[in-house]
Structure 1
Amino acid sequence: MLALYLKIAFRNMWKYKTQSLTGIFGLAFGLACFVPALYWLRYETSYDGFYPDADRIYRVYSFDKQAGKTNDMVSGILDRKLHDQFPAMQTSTVFFIDQNDCKTEGTPYVRLLTLFTDSAFLDVFPQTIVSGDAWHPLQVANNMILTETVAVRLFGDVEKAVGQSVKSTGLTQYDPPYTVTAVIKDPPANTNLSFEAILSHEQIKMHKTFVDESGKAVWNFASLQMYAKLPPYTDVGRLAGQLRDYPSQSLANGNVEIRMLPIGDVRYRLKDEAPFTLNFIRLFVVAGILLLFSALFNFLNLHLDLFHQRMRELRLRAVNGASSGQLIGQMLFELTCAILLALLPAGYLVVAVNPVFSGLLGISMEVSQALGLFALCGAGVMLLVLLVGSVLFWRLSRLAVRPRAERKTTGQLGLQRVAVTLQLAVSILFIVAAWVVMLQMRFVNHKDLGFDRNGIIYLSGIQLFINEDVRAALLKELASIPQVGNVTDTYFTPKHSATPSDIKTDIEWPGKAQSEKSAFCVVPTDSRFAETFKVNMLQGEWLGEGGERNVVLNEEAVRAMGLEEPVGTVIRMTLNEPEEYRVVGVVKDFHLFSLRSRILPTIFFPSIYPTNSLYVRAVPGQEQEAIRRINAVLPAIDASFVDVHPVRLSEMYDRLNYSEQAGLKMFSVLAVVCLLISLFGIYAVASAATQRRRKEVAVRKVVGARVGDIIRMFFREYTVQVMLAGAVALPLAYIAMSRWLQGYAYRTDIPWWLLAGVITGVVAVVLLTVLGQVLRAANSNPAEVVKSE
């Protein structure tokens, strides 16, 4: 019986190969697009979920109510105070992560991403020990743990690494040598706590034990991350309420709240370096679901139509004694074979697109995990299709045993039209989304930033604390390069928005209202910034050499202060301590950050200490040669400069738009795949429909209808379907993409011609797809059709 069913199934697949292959490959492409999208969502929402009891680990941070700003760092003294006040916070840790230039006996220079902490870190974040002290590897100050990769790179073997010495030459160059006490597994890629070494350091102890009688140290020295692992069955809501009110009740500071956040939410609610928002990822998954359902509609629609075309065969089987159950079983078996055939190319596509998807999104996509997720989704799709198919085939089996005169195909044709309309609606939605993303990308790329970013090179990777002699040598060498025009030292890096360290709220100016709390972006810079960036001075002059008490405002800062004559105005702000500064100039507004953020009121002031954030303007037309020369001189100045890389400033701004560029590619692929599935489905349905309606066309031609009339009749039906799909899809696409554009402070509009153009284009493509079938039906010989009927 099984062999007979297989023979019947594959014979009919070959006989109706257009419909069968269209449904099979459509479902395969739908699964191949949905599985990576679902994997991406699981990956991004699983950050740090691999730690034991991750559901009980929370990030502790503060929130300034007046400024409306979050500070994700805390002071070490706050960790001690919370220990004393809240028993549930006993298991907590504070730390900071920074690059540390080091050397070993066999390696003269290595830069390690180091996590500075104490032994409490391992209580909250246990590590897998590969070699060394498995119990107390951070018990003593200057004990160091290395990751497996670093241990092998530095010492050749994890066993040999234990007991070795590592000496800092950069951030903590005056520390005694560190002793490697253990080697651990590398942290996975999906973690917010990336490091190459963990160091038990005295700074952490000092932060925890520092005493300030004024109590301001709790907030003034906020430079550490803090995490707490709560005991089982802790009332998290109650504890969060107590922490929120703690500053106002115990520290007499009603302007600050202490908040908690589950570790899994840190990446998307407390950090801004993630290239994609979680809402965008969810939107992409929803798009994948729509595409998969579109493929499923197409698959079921085509196979249901295929069985309708085989109604004579099914009726003959019923006449020869086949029961309804046997007919349903046969149809379900053939459907199962088609699904299994669809899963084969789908699985291959999931593996094939794995490296492309991983590279595009910058994630580590494990093939085994992707295939496991694919198997789960494939089983779910099979179950769903067979469940729906059982209902449809039950109705079809009852129709097969009825007399021919009692059969009605209206419901089946209506179902086909609904399925095709839904597929077209999804296609239109994707096409609109891709076009809107493309328009926004064009707007971003052509938006004037307010300065000339072309020709500016950023030297990334310079350690903040470098020797003065080394810094002087670096500046001298840069100035000696013929292709280098200007060099400026400015503490500013392009990013999506300002961080708490960039913001000041305690600015005072003449006429300021007592209750006013404006937030200003403060930028330490030097006298060469304006010339290097070619900013537009509106009033006064830029900061000169030796003007330690001078500042420059941007237009937005002048508006925020309400100054009519800003040049010469004296303002008061606190850097190390409250001091007065004189406004010497006003610069035209320009974008320090991406177009997602509005231009903030900004104050430029002379940096007291070198920031070592160097920007170089190359001579016009010689940017590439300048980069080559800089790369050539850097290693000769200092060993640590091997990790310094010249980067074009224009590339840094382009990276801020990486998510939009990737989103454009992904939505374009989805739009093309979904439209192709729809068009192949429409082609197959049109082929079957024109075959069924041969007699109708023949009768119309006999009573006087012309070929043009027949073509218009078919074209009108398909045009109406596209218009109905557009009526559903266009409002949804407009609302969804308008909300997406709200994430930009500076954005394009969705033009009416885009929506009209998409509908017109889809109508044209659909009509071209069915044109051949319609022409064949319209030009058929009525006499031959009637004779065959």
Structure 2
Amino acid sequence: MLSHYIKVTFRELLKYRTQSIISIIGLAIGFTAFILGGYWLWWETHFDNFHPEADRLYCLTTEGLVKRANGTQADLDQLHINDREELFKLLPEIEASCSFNHLSFTLQQGNEAINLHGMESGQSFFNLFQADFIEGTHKGIVPDGSSVILTKRTAHKLFGTTNCIGKEVVLDNNLRPSVAGVIRDYPDNTDLLFDFLLIRIPQPNHVKRMTTYVRLQKNTNMTNVRNKLTLYKSHAEDKWDREQVKNWKINLLTASEVHLRCHPELTDRIRNIHILALAGIMAFLSALINQLVLFIGQQQRKQQKNRTYLCVGASTTSMVMKGFTELAFPLMIAFLIAFCLIESLYPYYESYTAWNRYGIYENVSRHLSRTSLFSNTLSLAGISILIFLFICYYPIRNLLEHKIRKPALFKQSLIVVQIFIGSLFFIISLGLFRQLHFILSKDKGIDYERVIQVDLGYSTAHQTNLSVLKPEMVNHPYIEGVTYTCGNAPVFTEQGDWYGSFYSHFCFDPNESEPNSYNPVVVADKDFFSFFKLQPISGNWPTAANPYSYIVNETCLQTLGYTNLLERPIYIKGQASQAKVCCVIKDYFYAPMQYPILPLFFTTYDNPTVKDFERPYLIYVRYAKGHKKEVLEHLREITSHIQNDNVNRNKMFTELSDLVDLFNRPEKVIFTIFSILSLVCILISTFGIYSLVSLATEQRRKEIAIRKVNGATFYHILQLFFREYFMLVALGNAFALPVGYLVTKRWLETYANHTTLPAWLFLLVFFFTSGIVLLSIFRQVKRAATTNPAEIIKTE
């Protein structure tokens, strides 16, 4: 019987092949987006949940030291040692604790440099965190730094095997621990990134902070614990009041929350994940509704045939099973296509979703598990079919038994839902497109075309005076100019919450009290400003006559609150210094648009106050159009003698336009995905509406015929239908447009620099959906109205 049902279902799919193909493709694409977005969201929100008793594992974090791109406070996963002692007294609910610090070493193995990242911690680490030993043990190890635990990956990297107990690891000349054990690698969704674990009592860093995790007792009242932390005032030392300790707040975050709240750079990533997951769910739901619409249309056209089945002895249960087959079969085909799509998209998906850390973990990348993705896909496909059939059971039964009391209302509700989803997708897509166009077309205020960034490494800069390379580099017929910046101050940065070579306090009032605010300073070559064609608003560029001069940007001038800073002396301890502001320049965008422009100070490398501790680090070369290859060869030859173990030579030369494209990559990807899903949803909605209108006109053929006999024209009949469906379009848009506005507005607010949503966009969406419905109605009504009324009345 099942094989018979499948044959009948297959014939129905062929009969309505256009709509069936659209429905199945929509289901496949919607399910694919739903799985990829949903799994990514699950992965990001389940970091470090694999540790034993993870539900009681928390990190003590400090809020008030780090900001997100939108200016809100993030958390730092570190705790001042004074606060650690006080909090342990304040919270008797703490059952166990562990503190650790991060370490980084570069090992030389033959001709290969191996970067190892690790942690130093005592035996308490093994009481809180997972450690599956393959070889050796941690028991009995003295925490004096003479022993180290390696991960499986590191053991193979250093020794080619995990059987390396007792072997020496030369971390540096003074630190040569022996291997005491090898543990299994952690999954990629962890914030505990280490290649080795040095068993040593951790010492606080230079600002007296360490990462501290605690495990609370069972049945702890978390409300009471958090209330205590709310009232707690930090005991951190800050004699200069530079870090604003009075504004610090100590938080207790779960291991998974640490990932989301202690990494400000993830804000945009999480935003895009939510958009992708939401779009996938909506597209999938739209396709499911369309599948239900197609099924309803088919069943209502087969009313006489279904009555015949029941009359000749078919049970309601068998008819429901037949209906289930007609619903489930297209779903299975769609899920099979979705598996193929996921398989083909996985390499790109893995690359796009990879989490690349920065700082000492700059070259560490984390990837989503392929095995877990496909196992979850298989599970969700089965669950989706069961849930959908369960929800549809009573509507199918009532439809087959003709018990739906208000079938017109039911069909109209389906139309409204499809219009809602289609309009919502359309308005959000327009918002995404406007912001993407704004990002791509907005003048950055800096000329970065045909400029190559040469990264010679921070450590190399402090060993070699790289400024001497400038004359050698510029000595080439196809090089139009060379400049450089000092310290960790690239021209473009992905981390726009911090920008500059260093921070310093600038006092323009001799009566100002102790300094309590600091501004970033960019130290650059004297030709930096003309090289990048930065535009002065007032004043003049620094000269050799006054090497102590500073330049400020527009934002800095506004932030400081002075109408004019030119030639105003900078005071040090109440005394006027030689340093003055000589120029104000226009703001330029140095980071992605979601970051606000910081108040910046600029000074040249000739400034004696910075020359002693800042070094040229990044060199910028502008090449003549069409001669990039020759210039790159020239640069490689000049820098070939520089030994830099911390910078991959393949990444040493980067074109600035490529960096800008990298900044815009998330927006481009999200817009592309959303546009595809929007197109699919609009097509699905169009065919769903077309199917229901077709069904309505078939069921009202006699009414149309009688109206024609009584003198109604085609346009009168068209107006009758359009008035009815226009109300449905208006109702669907009445819900979709406000929701779309709120979603898009909230998304745009994540950018410090964003476009607007004019009213005409919403009118465009409304007229577009109205046009789709009108075209659907026009064809069906025209076909019904051109039929001979006598033939219709005679057949009824």
TM-score range, shorter chain: 0.7 to 0.9
Secondary structure in 2 matching 1:47: coil
What residue identity is the alignment partner of 1:102?
Answer: L
For 1:627-678, what per-residue CA distance to the aligned partner results, in whole angstroms no more than 9, with x for missing partners? Answer: 4433454443215254452222333333333322221122112201211221
After TM superposition, the structure 1 stretch with the greater mean CA deviation from structure 2, 643-652 or 230-239, is 230-239
With over 3 angstroms needed to count, the CA separation of the structure-2 counterparts of 1:542 and 1:221, relative to structure 1, is farther
1:404 alignment partner in structure 2: none
Map of 1:91 onto structure 2: 97
1:582 matched to 2:586 = no
Shift of the alpha carbon at 1:183?
4.4
1:610-641, Cα deviation, whole Å (9 max, x unpaired)? 35541313134245543443345444321525
Aligned to 1:190, what secondary structure does the other structure show? coil
Is residue 427 from structure 1 mapped to residue 422 from structure 2 by the alignment? yes
Q: Which residue of 1 aligns with 2:642?
A: 637
**Corresponding residue for residue 494 of structure 2:** 495
Task: Give the Cα separation in 1 of the matches to 2:75 and 2:14.
Answer: 65
Partner of 2:534: 535
Q: 1:326 to 1:126 in 2, by over 3 A?
A: closer
Match status 1:756 vs 2:763: yes
- 2:386 aligned with 1:383: yes
Q: One-letter code of the match for 1:536? A: Q
Name whichever of 654-663 and 703-712 sits farther off: 703-712
Aligned residues: 758
Tell me the residue number matched to 2:619. 615
Deviation at 1:6, TM superposition (A): 4.8
Task: Find the counterpart in structure 2 of residue 213 from structure 1.
Answer: none
Task: For 1:690, give the aligned amino acid.
Answer: T
Q: Kindly state the Cα deviation for residue 134 of structure 1 after the two structures are TM-superposed.
A: 5.0
Measure, in 1, the Cα distance between the counterparts of 2:348 and 2:790: 56
1:248 and 1:335, CA in 2 relative to 1: closer, same or farther beyond 3 A?
Answer: closer
Amino acid at match of 2:641: A
User: What TM-score does the superposition give when structure 1 sets the normalisation length?
Assistant: 0.83
Cα distance change, pair 93–424 in 1 and its aligned pair in 2 (3 A)? same
Equivalent residue, structure 2, for 1:652? 659
Which residue of structure 1 lines up, in the alignment, with residue 48 of structure 2? 48
CA contact (8 A) 1:595 1:745 kept: yes
* Alpha-carbon RMSD: 4.1
Task: Give the counterpart of 1:595 among 580, 593, 606.
Answer: 593
| 1:240-290 deviation line (CA, Å, top 9, x unaligned) | 555565555686964443333322122332212227343443343233322
Distance 1:572 1:237 in 2: 49
SS at match of 1:276: helix
State the alpha-carbon separation in 2 of the partners of residues 19 and 243 from structure 1: 59
Cα separation, partners in 2 of 1:24 and 1:90, compared to 1, 3 Å: closer
> Does structure 1 residue 278 correspond to structure 2 residue 270?
yes
Correspondence for 1:403: none
Letter in 1 for 2:52: P
* Alpha-carbon distance in 1 for matches of 2:530, 2:142: 49
**1:487 alignment partner AA:** T
**Residue in structure 2 matching 1:292, options 270, 284, 294:** 284
Contact 1:103 1:110 in 2 (8 A): yes
Aligned to 1:319: 311
1:548-567 aligned at under 5 Å gives the runs 550-567=549-566
- 2:672 is aligned with 1:670: no
Q: Which moved more, 1:379-388 or 1:175-184?
A: 175-184
CA positional deviation for 1:529: 3.4
Q: Select which of 447, 450, 454 maps to 1:459.
A: 454
In 1, Cα distance between equivalents of 2:776 and 2:471 = 68
Aligned-partner SS, 1:747: coil
Say if 1:19 and 1:303, in contact at 8 Å, map to a contact too. Answer: no
Q: Deviation per CA, 1:40-93: give whole Å up to 9, x if none.
A: 110111123233333334333434499986672657744864587466386222
| Equivalent residue, structure 1, for 2:363 | none
Contact 1:240 1:260 in 2 (8 A): yes
Give the 3-state SS of the residue equivalent to 2:489 in structure 1. Answer: coil
TM-aligned CA distance change 1:616 to 1:275, over 3 Å: farther
* Aligned CA distance change for structure 1 residues 552 and 310 (closer, same or farther; 3 Å): same
Distance of aligned partners of 1:447 and 1:135 in 2 relative to their CA distance in 1, 3 Å threshold: farther
Deviations 1:702-751 (A, max 9, x none): 33344455555555555544343222211211121112111122211112
Equivalent pair of 1:144/1:180 in contact (CA under 8 Å):
yes
Say which is worse superposed, 653-662 or 419-428, in terms of deviation.
Answer: 653-662
How far is 1:504 from its partner? Answer: 5.8
Distance 1:486 1:501, change over 3 A: closer
Q: Distance in 2 between matches of 1:392 and 1:111?
A: 64
Q: Quote the Cα distance in structure 2 between the aligned partners of 1:428 and 1:143.
A: 63
Distance 1:480 1:415, change over 3 A: same
Q: Within 1, Cα distance between the matches of 2:463 and 2:107? A: 18
Contact 1:59-1:266 at 8 Å conserved across structures: yes
Partner of 1:442: 437
The residue matched to 1:663 in structure 2 has which SS? helix
Indicate the residue corresponding to 2:360 in structure 1. Answer: none
> 1:112-261, aligned counterparts within 5 Å?
112-119=115-122, 122-123=125-126, 124-131=128-135, 135=139, 139-141=143-145, 143-159=147-163, 163-166=167-170, 168=172, 175-177=174-176, 179=178, 182-199=181-198, 204-205=202-203, 207=204, 221=207, 225-240=211-226, 242=228, 247-248=233-234, 254-261=246-253
> Partners of 2:748 and 2:788 in 1: how far apart?
55
> Partner amino acid for 1:728?
F
State the secondary structure of the residue aligned to 2:250: strand
Q: Deviations over 1:116-172 (max 9, x none)?
A: 42335843444444445554789443755554445434544443697254455xxxx
Residue type at the aligned position of 1:610? E
Quote the Cα distance in structure 2 between the aligned partners of 1:744 and 1:283: 15
Describe the SS at the equivalent of 1:684. helix
- 2:337 matched residue in structure 1: 345
Q: For the structure 1 residues 451 and 16, does the alpha-carbon distance in structure 2 shift closer, same or farther, using more than 3 Å as the test?
A: closer
| Number of the residue aligned with 1:406 | none
| 1:134–1:357 CA distance, 2 compared to 1 (3 A) | same
2:749 alignment counterpart: 742
Is 1:110 the counterpart of 2:113? The answer is yes
**How does 1:659-738 map onto structure 2 within 5 Å?**
659-711=666-718, 713-714=720-721, 717-738=724-745
- Is contact 1:109-1:639 (8 Å) kept? no
Aligned to 2:37: 37
Pair 1:486–1:224, CA change in 2 (3 A) = farther
Q: Is the 8 A contact 1:618 1:626 kept in 2?
A: no
Flag the 1:517–1:460 CA change in 2: closer, same or farther, 3 A: same
Q: 1:534 to 1:248 in 2, by over 3 A?
A: same
Structure 2: segments with no counterpart, 5+ residues: 239-244, 356-366
Partner residue of 2:522?
523
| Residue 361 of structure 2: aligned partner | none
Alpha-carbon separation, structure 1, partners of 2:505 and 2:15: 79
**SS across alignment from 2:581:** strand
Three-state SS of the structure 1 residue aligned to 2:705 is helix
Deviations 1:538-596 (A, max 9, x none): 4445556797855333233333333344233333579xx99967223233233343322
1:3-52 Cα offsets, whole Å, 9 max, x none, are: 55555555555555556555555444432332222111101111232333
User: In structure 2, what is the Cα distance between the partners aligned to 1:598 and 1:58?
Assistant: 32
Deviation at 1:437, TM superposition (A): 1.1
Which region of structure 1 is more displaced relative to structure 2, 615-624 or 709-718? 709-718
The equivalent of 1:781 in structure 2 is: 788
- Select between 722-731 and 497-506 the one with higher mean Cα deviation: 497-506
Q: What is the percent sequence identity of the aligned residues? A: 26
Q: Is the 8 A contact 1:145 1:199 kept in 2?
A: yes
Question: What do residues 208-241 of structure 1 show as CA deviations (whole Å, max 9, x unaligned)?
Answer: 7xxxxxxxxxxx7257544444454555554455
Q: Which TM-score applies when normalising by structure 2?
A: 0.82
**Aligned residue number for residue 350 of structure 2:** 358
Q: Which residue of 2 aligns with 1:405?
A: none
